[in-house]
Amino acid sequence: MTSYLRLPALAAAALACLIQVGARADVLPEERADVSWRTYDGGGLTVQGPAVLVRKNFADKVSVSAGYSVDEVTGASIDMVVLGASPLREVRKQKQLGVDYLYGKTTYSAGVQSSIENDYDSSTVNAGISQSMFGDLTTISIGVSRGWDIVTRVINAQRQKDPNFRKRVDRKTWSLGVSQILTRNLLAGFDYEAITEQGYLQNPYRAIRYLAGPGSTIYLTGPETYPGTRTSNAVAFRVKYYLPWRASVTGKYRYFFDTWSIHAQTAELAYTEPFLNDRLIADLTYRYYRQNSASFYSDLFQFANQQNYMARDKELAAQDNNAIGAALSYDFLKSKKWFVKKASGSLHYDYIMYRYKDFRDATQRQLPAGTEPMYHYNANVVQAFLSVFF
Amino acid sequence: MSLLRRSLLIALALLASACGQVQPWVKPYERERLADRVMAWERDPIATGYITHVRENREGARGGTGEAGGGCGCN
């Protein structure tokens, strides 16, 4: 279980929510099939693999979606370099199935997801209801999900597991979404999501570091200890405005807080415009994210067992990141006669600059512990996919 | 009062105020622009799902990206 793969179940649930409640409540989602190849490269890790997502509607009442993806992770993150661990080669496989049922202006949704890797399995079920009202000006969606994870631990280069290590994580998610037409040019949305987790919430491989002794300039490493529960809340607002020419601008803001004392803010701006007689559509995005550190996080503890809970996960460190993205989709086939109505090729690129404010580059052992420069890295995310609409 | 409680109260107040006879102030025939694909909240679920996955694995925050109830509500 790498830091990259730490939250597969949450990601699966998020993707399922996107897929299943992304459409308005009184119309079934578009029938389409997507085949994608995506890569992530940053922080010493490379992740790449294919994904397939298919959605088919039946009798204008039922919509079924199915997805499958594989992520192959190679390389070594800074945590692994500090601990002297050998480079990673992991595979994660994810499957999902969703059903939407349309009745009047209400859509009922249900889905299951499964994510399997060598040392982390997760299963999630979700259900939701979405209702259009007030002359279709307003759509309200409510969703719940329940997840069960099994955490195990690999103990040697042959990828054998520790037979005495098997932990559980239970997860519940509640979400509320409101989408609102404000004017003939302006859409707005509100989203709230609460997540509670209970169980083994840490990474069995990651370690804290602490000073070897009073006044020492070298550090030793020891096991992390996390609380057994975490509850988080996210509140998000979004608006989308149709500009005087055929283009739109989108603004999003999210505020997040949890019982580990993490507070985070996210702001996003996007611009969308079609070109070439509507055959090409382009998006430009900018995203800013910042958070403070968890209450039990420290880059360098003063001594072992300094406190009950101790973590040195950079995900829990104070950080900010800036990301710029560009996306292009080109419709190379449009037809009203064929079974296939439209086919398009898309390329998405995101460049993310991660900057940590209290997570130091501990690989620089020539420097006294606690004086190393703050860690930072840049990541490239590329997604290429082919979409067929039928 | 926590931000969560305030947000829920505001949402409930908005819902309660909307329980009377609401006349759509944007008529269906006025929603042409809202139905344009440049106004779609979510154009490619497969791409959004992946970038959400990338972000959530590297940031402490998660959730609130559901894009729930998207779309323009026009026929």
For residue B46, what are the domain limits?
23-58
pLDDT > 70? residue A290: yes
Terminal-residue alpha carbon distance, chain B: 40
The model's pLDDT over A146-196, given as tens digits with 9 standing for 90+, comes to 999 999 998 887 788 999 999 999 999 999 999 999 999 999 999 999 999
Shortest Cα–Cα distance, B34 to chain A (Å)? 6
Contacts of residue A330, Cβ cutoff 8 Å, sequence gap at least 6: A276, A279, A280, A344, A345, A346
Tokens of A273: 């415009």
Is B9 within the bounds of a domain?
A: no
Rounded to a whole number, what is the largest CA-CA distance in chain B?
A: 46
Contact A262 B61 (CB under 8 A): yes
pLDDT > 50? residue A22: no
Is B37 within the bounds of a domain?
A: yes
Contact A179 B41 (CB under 8 A): yes
Spatial distance between the Cα atoms of A132 and A316, rounded to a whole number of angstroms? 38
- Structural domains of chain A in order of their starting residue, each with its CATH number: 8-389 (2.40.160)
Is B69 within the bounds of a domain?
A: no
Shortest Cα–Cα distance, A86 to chain B (Å)? 21
Tell me the mean pLDDT in the region A292-314. Answer: 95
Split at pLDDT 50, 70, 90, the class of A15 is: very low
Spatial distance between the Cα atoms of A214 and A230, rounded to a whole number of angstroms? 33
Residues 5-34 of B with CB under 8 A from A: 7-8, 11, 15, 18, 22-26, 28, 30-31, 33-34
Which residue in this structure is represented by tokens 């979606």? A65
Give ipTM to 2 decimals: 0.90
Spatial distance between the Cα atoms of A364 and A163, rounded to a whole number of angstroms? 35
Spatial distance between the Cα atoms of A379 and A353, rounded to a whole number of angstroms? 7
Under 8 Å between Cβ of A354 and A43: yes
pLDDT > 90? residue B2: no
Task: Determine the residue of chain B that is closest to A55 in CA distance.
Answer: B45
User: Is A254 within 8 Å of chain B by CB?
Assistant: yes
pLDDT > 90? residue A250: yes
Spatial distance between the Cα atoms of A254 and A203, rounded to a whole number of angstroms? 27
Q: 3-state SS of chain B: helix, strand, coil percent to 5?
A: 50, 0, 50
Tell me the mean pLDDT in the region A326-347. Answer: 91
Q: Is the pLDDT higher at A53 or at A337?
A: A53
Task: Give the three-class secondary structure for A296.
Answer: coil
pLDDT, position A125:
97
With contacts defined as CB-CB under 8 Å, which chain B residues touch A21?
66-70
Which of A9-18, A98-107, A285-294, A380-389 has the weakest average pLDDT? Answer: A9-18
pLDDT, position A3:
41
- Percent above pLDDT 90 for chain A: 81
Is B45 within the bounds of a domain?
A: yes
Residues 148-207 of A with CB under 8 A from B: 173, 175-179, 181-185, 187, 189-195
- Helices A8-21 + B45-56 axis angle, to 10: 150
Mean pLDDT score of chain A: 91
pLDDT, position A33:
96
SS in 3 state form for A309-323? CEECCHHHCCEEEEE
Is B49 within the bounds of a domain?
A: yes
Tokens of A126: 């979700």
Per-residue b or e along A173-196, where b marks 16 or more CB atoms closer than 10 Å to that residue's CB: bebbbbbbbeebbbbbbbbbbbbe
Task: Determine the residue of chain B that is closest to A192 in CA distance.
Answer: B64
Give me the residues paired with residue A210 across strands. Answer: A220, A301
Tokens of A322: 């800036």
Q: What's the half-sphere exposure (Cβ side, CA atoms, 13 Å) at A3? A: 23
- Percent above pLDDT 70 for chain A: 94
With contacts defined as CB-CB under 8 Å, which chain A residues touch B72?
24, 181, 187
Structural domain total, chain B: 1
With contacts defined as CB-CB under 8 Å, which chain B residues touch A27?
71
Contacts of residue A325, Cβ cutoff 8 Å, sequence gap at least 6: A283, A284, A285, A286, A287, A348, A349, A350, A351, B51
Tell me the mean pLDDT in the region A9-28. Answer: 50
Q: Which of A77-86, A270-279, B11-20 has the highest mean pLDDT?
A: A270-279
Return the number of other C-beta atoms located less than 10 Å from residue A260's C-beta: 21
Tokens of A350: 């995101």
Is B53 within the bounds of a domain?
A: yes
pLDDT, position A300:
96
Strands A229-242 and A219-223, sheet pairing: unpaired
Spatial distance between the Cα atoms of A235 and A254, rounded to a whole number of angstroms? 6
pLDDT > 50? residue A108: yes
Shortest Cα–Cα distance, A80 to chain B (Å)? 15
A20: left (phi over 0), alpha (psi -120 to 50) or beta: alpha
Spatial distance between the Cα atoms of A290 and A269, rounded to a whole number of angstroms? 15
Residue A149's alpha-carbon distances to A18, A116, A144, A199, A266, in angstroms, are 21, 10, 17, 9, 28
Distance of CA A157 to the CA centre of its chain: 29
Task: Determine the residue of chain B that is closest to A239 in CA distance.
Answer: B41
Split at pLDDT 50, 70, 90, the class of A19 is: very low
Q: How many CB pairs under 8 A join A and B?
A: 267
Under 8 Å between Cβ of B34 and A183: no
pLDDT > 80? residue A112: yes
Tell me the mean pLDDT in the region A348-374. Answer: 95
Residues 32-51 of B with CB under 8 A from A: 33-34, 36-39, 41-51
Task: Give the three-class secondary structure for B73.
Answer: coil
Residue A255's alpha-carbon distances to A266, A286, A313, B28, B63, in angstroms, are 7, 17, 21, 33, 10
Contact A385 B49 (CB under 8 A): no
pLDDT > 50? residue B68: no
Is B38 within the bounds of a domain?
A: yes
With contacts defined as CB-CB under 8 Å, which chain B residues touch A194?
63
pLDDT > 50? residue A371: yes
User: Is B54 within 8 Å of chain A by CB?
Assistant: yes
Contact B33 A232 (CB under 8 A): no
Question: What one-character-per-residue DSSP string does A153-185 give?
Answer: EE-STT--EEEEEEEEEEEEEEEEEEEEEEETT
User: Is A346 within 8 Å of chain B by CB?
Assistant: yes
pLDDT, position A85:
80
The model's pLDDT over A26-83, given as tens digits with 9 standing for 90+, comes to 788 899 999 999 999 999 999 999 999 999 999 989 999 999 999 999 998 998 888 8
Spatial distance between the Cα atoms of A239 and A252, rounded to a whole number of angstroms? 7
pLDDT, position A260:
97
pLDDT > 80? residue A342: yes
Contact B57 A257 (CB under 8 A): no
Tokens of A141: 């969606």
Is B42 within the bounds of a domain?
A: yes
Residues in chain B: 75
Rg (CA), chain B: 17
Under 8 Å between Cβ of A210 and A301: yes
pLDDT > 80? residue B18: no
Spatial distance between the Cα atoms of A176 and B4, rounded to a whole number of angstroms? 12
Residue A55's alpha-carbon distances to A22, A65, A67, A152, in angstroms, are 13, 4, 9, 34
Spatial distance between the Cα atoms of A261 and A297, rounded to a whole number of angstroms? 10
Q: What's the DSSP call for residue A301?
A: B
pLDDT, position A5:
42
Task: Determine the residue of chain B that is closest to A181 in CA distance.
Answer: B72
Phi, psi of A176 (to 5 degrees): -135, 130
Split at pLDDT 50, 70, 90, the class of A14 is: very low
